[in-house]
A and B are shown apart, each in its own frame.
Chain A
Amino acid sequence: MEGTIYFNSISWAIQAQKLLEGQGMPSTIRKISKIGPSGSCGYGLDLRGDTDAAMRLLEGAGIKYIHPDDL
């Protein structure tokens, strides 16, 4: 499975990447010029793994990401 999780801040995106890599979910970070309807720039974490499981892991670790409902 593949998917993208979005972040406002590079710092959170990198923290998420390191956490998920430790859980066997590799990913790459890319800069995104417009995220969702607000059109703010941010970062996308392109994930090779279960995105839902990844988001649960991030929530458990207190890592801030942009929830899909807010996109």
Chain B
Amino acid sequence: MIYFDNGATTFPKPRCVAQAVGSAFDRYGANPGRSGHAMSMDTAIKVFEVRDALASLFGAQNLQDVVFTLNCTHAVNMAVKGALRMGDHVIISDLEHNAVLRPVHALAQRGAITYSIAQTFPDHSETLASFARHITPSTRMIACTHASNVFGTVLPIEEIGKLCRERGLLFLVDAAQTAGVLDVKPRDWGIDFLCMAGHKGLYGPSGTGVLITALGSSMQTIIEGGTGSFSGSFDQPDEMPDRLESGTVNTMGILGLGAGVSFVREKTMRALYTHEMKLATEALAMLRDIPGIQLYTPGFGFGSHVPVISFNIAGKPSEETTAALSDKGFALRGGLHCAPLAHQKMGTLETGTARISFGAFNTIEQVVQLCGAINKLARG
């Protein structure tokens, strides 16, 4: 199978990730730090090293601000439900994945908060103005994606962060599609909650995610439990990262994530992004020449997009397209991609889109093969 579904999760993983997970099974199988024996301590040190590597990669002030989660959705839920209070107003964008939309909407449905949806535009100043227009005296947070998982559009989060700082707002960024792909600087850009998947651009195993926040000690918790610290107390500890890491962490996954982070650092984000965007640009050029192909990102380019392309074959539902491509050995995702707002914006709510999302291990030969297959499908 030729895999173009890296927006869902990256595949394959670098060899070093499998090796790290294997070594975790063989040598670091204890509960990290919870017990006093040597393997527990050795495992804790390995987990610490991954936390440290992530803190370094994202410029976190303290490595204790790095929290391991199950995935990006888990991180977003912790931040949204942990930081917001009754009566708060939140602004999200019109490109949000359900990871942001659903927890915000759920709180609104319960009458806890209200929210508005800011429009996004190719012109970043218009996007900023849209966010600013929605700010009210009750607004407490802007929560938005760094890049659309459907159309690849990158939002101006550095400028949105500046807006949040100026207006005293919390800023949550869903970096599911950009962590490990584009540079993200939470401290410099005023990001209070940086939420990311470990299993996409960071090439870790599924079941890993990260939340980076300096506000953890003051957040309400959505999960309480054993932390291996303050065990005599009935209260969840304030001290980070323990406060937001109840129960046993996914040690095998975390060690694999550490190897993925090493892979990204070794290859460099710039080189990986350049490689993937070149493939995406070539694919777009080939798709444009196929009659009956609908494309949705006229201004696709370096810096303004991540390597994600959506398309449709005229008259064909997207899932039918991706099913046919799967029969021919190509892994793409069709449908709404858990992002109904984005499809509503682009007018693709009825059909969804077929999505090509590129990764480190895709090649130009694979792109040529894929576009050839799409060409055949489009011509019937």
Q: Which residues of A contact B (CB under 8 A)?
A: 8-12, 14-15, 29-31, 34, 38-43, 62, 64
Contacts and interface: CB of A to CB of B under 8 A. Distances in A.
A39 to B, nearest CB: 5
A31 B36 contact: yes
Contacts of A30: 36, 41
A38 B232 contact: yes
Contacts of A15: 48, 63-64
Interface string B39-79: 01100110010010000000000111000000000000000
B229 A10 contact: yes
Contacts of A43: 33
Measured as residues with beta carbon below 8 angstroms from the partner, the interface class of chain B is 20 to 34
Nearest to A64: B239
A36 to B, nearest CB: 11
B201 interface: no
Main secondary structure of the interface of A (DSSP, over half): mixed
Nearest to A62: B62
A14 B64 contact: no
B230 interface: yes
B125 to A, nearest CB: 38
Interface of B: 32-36, 40-41, 44-45, 48, 51, 62-64, 227-233, 237, 239-242
Contact of A10 (B32, B63, B233): B32
Contacts of A12: 64, 239
Contacts of B48: 10-11, 14-15
A39 B229 CA distance: 11
**Nearest 9 interchain pairs by C-beta:** A31-B36, A10-B33, A41-B231, A14-B48, A40-B230, A8-B229, A40-B232, A10-B44, A39-B232
A52 to B, nearest CB: 23
Contacts of A14: 44-45, 48
A14 B45 CA distance: 7
Nearest to A31: B36
Contacts of A8: 229-230, 237, 239, 242
Contacts of B63: 11, 15
